[in-house]
Amino acid sequence: MKAGKAKKTRKRSARPARTVLHRLGRLLRVVLRKAGLVLLAYYGLCTLCLLLYNVIDPPTTGVQMQRRVESWFEDDDYAKRYEPVSRETLSPHLRHAVVAAEDARFYEHWGIDWQAIRQALKDNKEPGRTRRGGSTITQQLVKNLFMTTHSTYLRKAMEVPLAYLAEILLSKERILDLYLNVIEWDRGVYGAEAAARQYYNASAAGLSRRQAAGLAACIPAPRTRTPQRMPRYTNTILRRMRQMNW
């Protein structure tokens, strides 16, 4: 009798355990389904925006919104300067300097430069080397448009399909135009026109080769660098421009 009761007890205890696992599995499927729908809606919205950005300039960006929120918790006043301009009023020197500095294979890849990523991973393993990334201009653009500056593996993974989408929906020249018009160049300073006036009291159309290279030298750390503090890197960018026949 006792053995029979023990078996019944084990059967009763096993049944609730299976029920809990079943419920957890069902909950996980619901969560994954909802997360998939959210992700699909997000990429759908990004696709619509990219299509619109063929003909209009972004009214704001993810990074600009991030900086606005951050300013609420800072002591200094925050004034946003964002002045998108047409391709004709962007100095060709600036276009060349930024490509030479940030993405030398910009006109060759399709949004992701796997060769540059492999080289960056190799370089970062060497002791004493300055850590570098392998992000393309296209990746940096979609990050600025739709994400924030917070670096996570999730953000990097989400950049990949967005970069390919941008390459499909936008021309290379439009990608570069948008990039130069939206990226951060100082606290509250967004785009080449605002940056040119901030640092040189000039328009983006009138930048010289050296001025353009000086602005390009600030892109990796726009809130701590100024062109005047980056003479060595500016000279490096000028040398790269000459090597690329610019």
Predicted local distance difference test score (pLDDT) of residue 130:
47
| 59-243 fold | Penicillin binding protein transpeptidase fold (1.10.3810)
pLDDT digits (tens, 9 = 90+) for 137-165: 999 999 999 999 998 888 889 999 999 99
Predicted local distance difference test score (pLDDT) of residue 119:
77
pLDDT at 92 over 70: yes
**Half-sphere exposure of residue 55: CA atoms within 13 angstroms, side-chain side:** 3
Write out the DSSP string of 68-133: HHHHTTSSS----EE----GGGS-HHHHHHHHHHH-TTTTTSSS--HHHHHHHHHHHHSTTPPP--
The string over 91-101, giving b where at least 16 C-beta atoms fall within 10 Å of a residue's C-beta and e elsewhere, is bebbbbbbbbb
Residue at token pair 């040398």: 239
Burial class from Cβ neighbours inside 10 Å (0-12, 13-18, 19+) for residue 137 reads buried
pLDDT at 74 over 90: yes
Degrees to nearest 5, angle at CA 144 with 100 and 35: 130
Task: Return the percentage of the chain with pLDDT > 90, whole number.
Answer: 74
pLDDT digits (tens, 9 = 90+) for 192-239: 999 999 999 999 999 999 999 999 999 999 999 999 999 999 999 999
Q: What is the pTM of this model?
A: 0.86
Tokens of 110: 């399709």
- The gap from C-alpha 221 to its chain's centroid, in whole angstroms, comes to 13
Among 32-36, 122-126, 224-228, the range scoring the smallest mean pLDDT is 122-126
Tokens of 167: 């390459």
The closest of 89, 59, 92, 64 to 79, measured between CA atoms, is: 64
Local confidence band at 15 (pLDDT 50, 70, 90 cut-offs): low
Q: Give phi and psi for 81, each to the nearest 5.
A: -120, 115
pLDDT: which is higher, 185 or 16? 185
**Half-sphere exposure of residue 84: CA atoms within 13 angstroms, side-chain side:** 16
